[in-house]
Structure 1
Amino acid sequence: MVHQIFVLLAALSCCFCCGTLAIENKDQHLRDLPCPPAEDIQPCVCTVIDSSTYDIEMDCSSVTTNDELASIFSKDFPYNDFFSLEIKNNFHLTTIRPGDFGQKTFQQIHILGGSLKTVEYRVFNSSYDTLTHLDIDNTNLDSFPFTELMLFTQLKYLRLGNNQLHGFPTLTSSSLQYLYLHGNSITGIELNSLPLLEMISLHNNSITYLLPGTFTDLPNLYYISLGYNGLQVLEAGTINLQTSSNNVYLYNNDLTSIAEGALVGLKGGYLSVENNQLTELAEAVFRLPMDDGVDVHAYGNPLDCGCEIAWLVTSDTYMNLLDDDASCTSGELVSELDPDLFEVIC
């Protein structure tokens, strides 16, 4: 009788262990989905980044060849729609080719650091209808299929900063809102059709001239960054903004002249002309933005501070909108000039 009881307990224990193991295996299987089996995608790593929506991220930072990348993405996955692709500090890939990502789709792509030089045409063609963010930053990128942008119907954010891009392409996109091309060697700008553009960052390039009309007919544009270029003049009609509050950054250029009508539509934001070669803050240029509440930062310019600045010095309203560090060639701060003197002699 005792022997039979031991046999029964052993059988029950075995069933319990088998059931527990089955549950554990089932749970493990559920934890793997919707990612593919880890061994099928090495050295890429798949992670479920949002358990409520099952958003998945593929990190392929450790791939060593294009063939390896293509082999991974050619396999049958439980799902073909990924939230994001990450490739960081990869010094093996210099080119991304069509077919390297198979038929997989992404909403966001982030390629940060590394040696990437060329993105070929139709590399991300499977994501024409899904891609919202494309971020290739701090690589050696000097070739990118800009003409393909019009095919990405959901693309809102494009960052290609700190690369080796030279000529500025004609850009067309019905969806793009944020464009970051700072830290390249771009020499000219041509914005063709970007009706939803809100922000553009072009600082640290080699832009010496802006065509009149460059920043016009862009009804949503409120942020322009052009610092650390080689701009010398701004002609009438260069910038005409339509938003209720906006910021324009022109610091650290070689500006000697800003024409009347070059800066139109600036309101309630910030205008930066620090560290240029302006000898005056011309009333015809700066009064209108200040009338609309724009803060003007102008330190680091060799201002003559003659009667041409009387309109500014004699108005508390305007002086409150000028930075305290703006100074004259004589070394005096504009904020310390005697307004009564200008009332008398001007």
Structure 2
Amino acid sequence: MKLMVICIVVYLSLCVGLLPQCTTGSPTSGIKPFPKECIFVSDTFIDCRHRDLRTIPSGFPETVETLLLSYNSIHVITNESFHGLVNLVTLELHHNSISKLRSDFFEDQTKLQYLSLSHNQIGDKLPDDAFKHLRALEVLDLSYMNHGFTVLPLALQELIHLRSLNVSSNRLQSASFTPGVAFPALLELRLGKNQIESLQNEDFEALLNCNLDFLDLTENQISAIDSGVFHPIASIAELDFSKGLHPAAIPSLAEALTDYQVNALYLREIGLEIWNSNNFKNLRNSSLEKLDISFNNITTLDSGFSGLSKISSLIIQSSHVAHISNTAFSGLQLVVTLDLSGNDIATITDGMFSSLSNTRLKTLYLDSNKIKRIDASGGFSGLSNLHYLKISKNKIEQNFIGDEFKDLDSLEVLDMGVNRNISLSPDAFRLLKNLQTLYLNLANLKNITVVPSPFDKLSSLTKLDLSNNNMAALHKDTLSNLSYLETVYLQHNNLYNMWNETVYVPFLKYLRRLKHLNLCFNGFQNIPNDSLSSLHELETLLLCHNKISQLQDGVLDGLPLTTLDLGYNEINLINQTLIEPLQGSLQILAVSGNPFSCGCNLQWFRNWLDVTKVHVNDSSHMKCASPPEMRGKLVMDFHPERLNCDHLLPFYIWIIIGVGSGMVFVIVGLSVKFRFHINYCWNLVNARRRKYQRIKGEDRPFLYDAFVSFSNKDEDWVKNELVQNLEGEYGFRLCIHDRDFILGRKILDSIVEAVDSSRFTLCIMSTNYLDSHWCKMEREFAMANLIDRDVLIIIALGEIPEKKITKYYKLHRLMMKRTYLAWPDEPGVRRNDFWVKLRTVLREPELRVNNNVSI
């Protein structure tokens, strides 16, 4: 219970001190409760989106700079909602149900720069002073109002620093601002999806001298445009009338843009059916560079583009264009990009683009048409500056002989992919000597076995895509002249018969600068040893979705691979010899989808996965196929150490060995520490084995009255005092080792016999005695006899320091329990008493009881 209380206290402390989102107070001031409905990202950023809020929470810290309240159900803002938030810079309130705004709502937001109020219910009832305190506001979004504005609100007049204004999807009848209002900093104005029917000269007076990046007038109903409507605006980078202009208003629009600085004009999906260049003749003096008339119904281009001489980009996508005359693009002297994708062009006829001869055209998009053939007599003649040609996603069925690309001397990228049936003659690309990238994917190519190769003249080619063609064969020299080739895509073909056990076609042999090679989905069962050996710069090798069961040792040696994909093959083992040569360069490895055999042979690879820094893709699909007990389990869940693959002792045996070794060390340590005690026991046993039995019972006669245990350094005291006062006149028999021990007998045996043959053992205790090895042994034997009888008498001879005797634990303990005799320093009565007490103890055994001998 105490532990639980402590844990709760610690948790609450952490919440208060470290986790502001757990608290109910402000993370900064600690005064107001922080709204629990919101996410406190930082002191300056609070996210309250998607919280189903009905009102604006209170308690925001005044340090907040970004406050997100969008995607809720807020319908009321009050004076207190944003009170005190003086540092607010960004405020999102879009996708709510707000219907009313007043100036005092934003009284403290003098630093606010971004305000989004779109998708609310604010209408024409917006007060004229609603934004009077927001003088720093730069971006205002009032789009998609439920009730909508019918006129641009007067409240905008205070926002002189506004850079972006969005009032799209309202009910505006006019683009006119309130007279006298000015927005000198405005860069973006969005008026799309309103009900504007005309543009009048005074509409944009508020934008005097502005340089707009974008003016959006899309999805309106504009049919009339005054000639001076754009004159107040200094320039417009992009002007968009898509879905918002009646085709009949194009001449008036062109007149309004006469001598005007506009860069891009979008007239997408306005219902334009007939292209008439006269409609744009007034643009001849404008700066228009880009014209987009896509998604209209222009079936024929034949009248030219007079008046659009400065156009650099012309886009006519998905407009049902089927017929293009030889003069269709006359007048486009500066055109660089022409996009005709997604139309109904069926044939590239001779001279179709002759009106673009000697122009600056560099990029031509003809993809996603219905082209079946390209006229070999010169469908692209005159386009000598063309760099990029895209004719993919068509229906071309043609054998290319080379004349189809006449005059395309500068072509660098040719995309012919995704066509119906393309075949190549040896001269197919003979004129494209500067080509660098060629796409022929999904073109239903047949086997490229012709000699010479159709690619022989493409000596500058760096990228070639031949994927998804179901090709079964390439000649060994098909790519031999492409010495600068860096990227080859050959996936989704059937080239497996070129590399098998009996056939080896070295079609990659000469690609010494190749860096990226994709051979996935080809059915390869084998990758020959020499097939990749010449690719000294290869960085990416993709061999996925084949039938490879094993890569031979050395097949990848010497390759600076950073990415290797072997996924979805039939590989059950990744060898160390395969991966180790790539360790210095490899960054990404994909091997998922293979039937791994999760046994001892996979041990190296499995251990490598745990330590490698190489990114192994999609390890969730690296599964074991065998043995049966591992089938379907992840390779990462395979632990080879449990199999004893190295034939080492199991882990539990190592535990037993470790514990046993530890016990041995402990025993050895104890043996060293208590070596004397062990030695004593051993010698005692040996002595017993030699028939020196301990004398048991007090009724058995002893040989000696006392065995004297003393240090040789105390010998004078023993002979002159002890022997003189106990033997002779008093008749006691003492055992003195240097007098009574039998010569030639082992000292230890003599000690054991002497102790056991004596009624008492007198220990003459001195500092010399404590330092003596033999004295220690004699004392231990005597103390051992205390078990059966009380035999030990201690005589303290001289002063013995306390710290010295405490080193001998057993002796110290004994002396603490028993009274011992102390030899007086001075002759006299005390010495007489000493001898009387000693003789009494030796003579009267029945009087000897512990602690009854007194000094």
TM-score computed with the length of structure 2 as normaliser? 0.34
1:203 corresponds to 2:458 = no
Q: Relative to 1, partners in 2 of residues 1:72 and 1:218: Cα closer, same or farther, differing over 3 Å?
A: closer
One of 464, 467, 478 as aligned partner of 1:182: 467
Q: Relative to 1, partners in 2 of residues 1:304 and 1:91: Cα closer, same or farther, differing over 3 Å?
A: same
**Does the CA contact (< 8 Å) of 1:33 and 1:78 recur in 2?**
no
Aligned to 2:217: none
181-190 or 334-343, which deviates more:
334-343
Residue-by-residue CA offset, 1:107-165 (whole Å, 9 max, x unaligned): 111112221011332211211x3010000121113213454435422211100111200
**Does the CA contact (< 8 Å) of 1:48 and 1:54 recur in 2?**
no
One of 599, 605, 616 as aligned partner of 1:306: 599
1:334 corresponds to 2:635 = yes
Q: Which has the higher contact order (CA 8 A, sep 6+)?
A: 1
- The one-letter code sitting in structure 2 at the alignment partner of 1:168 is I
1:344 corresponds to 2:646 = yes
Alignment of 1:224-303 (within 5 A): 224-240=517-533, 241-243=535-537, 246-267=539-560, 269-303=562-596
User: SS state of the match for residue 85, structure 1?
Assistant: strand
- The one-letter code sitting in structure 2 at the alignment partner of 1:255 is I
Q: Relative to 1, partners in 2 of residues 1:135 and 1:310: Cα closer, same or farther, differing over 3 Å?
A: same
Alignment of 1:13-24 (within 5 A): 24=282
Aligned to 1:115: 395
**Does the CA contact (< 8 Å) of 2:350 and 2:375 recur in 1?**
no
Alignment of 1:45-84 (within 5 A): 46=329, 54-57=335-338, 59=340, 61-66=343-348, 69-74=349-354, 77=356, 79-80=358-359, 82-84=361-363
Task: Give the Cα separation in 2 of the matches to 1:54 and 1:87.
Answer: 16
**Does the CA contact (< 8 Å) of 1:48 and 1:55 recur in 2?**
no
Count of residue pairs brought into register by the alignment: 319
- The one-letter code sitting in structure 2 at the alignment partner of 1:259 is Q
- The one-letter code sitting in structure 1 at the alignment partner of 2:411 is L
Task: Give the Cα separation in 1 of the matches to 2:471 and 2:634.
Answer: 36
- The one-letter code sitting in structure 1 at the alignment partner of 2:285 is D
* CA RMSD, Structure 1 to Structure 2 (Å): 3.7
- The one-letter code sitting in structure 2 at the alignment partner of 1:335 is M
CA displacement at 1:78 relative to structure 2: 6.4
- The one-letter code sitting in structure 1 at the alignment partner of 2:539 is N
CA displacement at 1:268 relative to structure 2: 5.3
Residue-by-residue CA offset, 1:284-315 (whole Å, 9 max, x unaligned): 32332245334321121112233332222233
User: SS state of the match for residue 364, structure 2?
Assistant: strand
Structure 1: runs of 5+ lacking an equivalent = 1-19
**Does the CA contact (< 8 Å) of 1:266 and 1:294 recur in 2?**
no
146-155 or 40-49, which deviates more:
40-49
Q: Relative to 1, partners in 2 of residues 1:72 and 1:47: Cα closer, same or farther, differing over 3 Å?
A: closer
Structure 2: runs of 5+ lacking an equivalent = 1-255, 260-281, 287-305, 317-322, 626-630, 649-855
Greater strand proportion: 1
TM-score computed with the length of structure 1 as normaliser? 0.77
Task: Give the Cα separation in 2 of the matches to 1:45 and 1:253.
Answer: 50
CA displacement at 1:227 relative to structure 2: 1.4
One of 141, 153, 161 as aligned partner of 2:421: 141
**Does the CA contact (< 8 Å) of 1:276 and 1:301 recur in 2?**
yes
Alignment of 1:161-176 (within 5 A): 161-169=441-449, 170=453, 171-172=455-456, 173-176=458-461
CA displacement at 1:218 relative to structure 2: 2.8
1:317 corresponds to 2:611 = yes
Task: Give the Cα separation in 1 of the matches to 2:490 and 2:591.
Answer: 20
CA displacement at 1:231 relative to structure 2: 1.1
**Does the CA contact (< 8 Å) of 1:115 and 1:140 recur in 2?**
yes
User: SS state of the match for residue 469, structure 2?
Assistant: coil
Task: Give the Cα separation in 2 of the matches to 1:59 and 1:47.
Answer: 16
Task: Give the Cα separation in 1 of the matches to 2:636 and 2:327.
Answer: 59
Residue-by-residue CA offset, 1:208-247 (whole Å, 9 max, x unaligned): 134464434434322111112211111101124333x722
User: SS state of the match for residue 407, structure 2?
Assistant: helix
Q: Relative to 1, partners in 2 of residues 1:343 and 1:124: Cα closer, same or farther, differing over 3 Å?
A: same
Task: Give the Cα separation in 2 of the matches to 1:48 and 1:282.
Answer: 67
One of 91, 105, 112 as aligned partner of 2:370: 91
User: SS state of the match for residue 596, structure 2?
Assistant: coil
Alignment of 1:145-164 (within 5 A): 145=425, 147-149=427-429, 151-164=431-444
- The one-letter code sitting in structure 1 at the alignment partner of 2:309 is D
116-125 or 22-31, which deviates more:
22-31
CA displacement at 1:182 relative to structure 2: 1.2
Q: Relative to 1, partners in 2 of residues 1:248 and 1:167: Cα closer, same or farther, differing over 3 Å?
A: same
Task: Give the Cα separation in 2 of the matches to 1:242 and 1:340.
Answer: 38
Aligned to 2:819: none
- The one-letter code sitting in structure 2 at the alignment partner of 1:225 is N
CA displacement at 1:65 relative to structure 2: 4.1
**Does the CA contact (< 8 Å) of 1:44 and 1:62 recur in 2?**
no
Aligned to 1:9: none
Task: Give the Cα separation in 1 of the matches to 2:637 and 2:330.
Answer: 60
CA displacement at 1:41 relative to structure 2: 4.6
CA displacement at 1:195 relative to structure 2: 1.6
Task: Give the Cα separation in 1 of the matches to 2:380 and 2:484.
Answer: 29
- The one-letter code sitting in structure 1 at the alignment partner of 2:600 is C
Aligned to 1:16: none
Task: Give the Cα separation in 1 of the matches to 2:353 and 2:335.
Answer: 19
Select the structure of larger CA radius of gyration.
2
User: SS state of the match for residue 387, structure 2?
Assistant: strand
Aligned to 2:7: none
Residue-by-residue CA offset, 1:241-290 (whole Å, 9 max, x unaligned): 333x7221111111123222322444352211111112222333233224
199-208 or 300-309, which deviates more:
300-309
Task: Give the Cα separation in 1 of the matches to 2:431 and 2:378.
Answer: 17
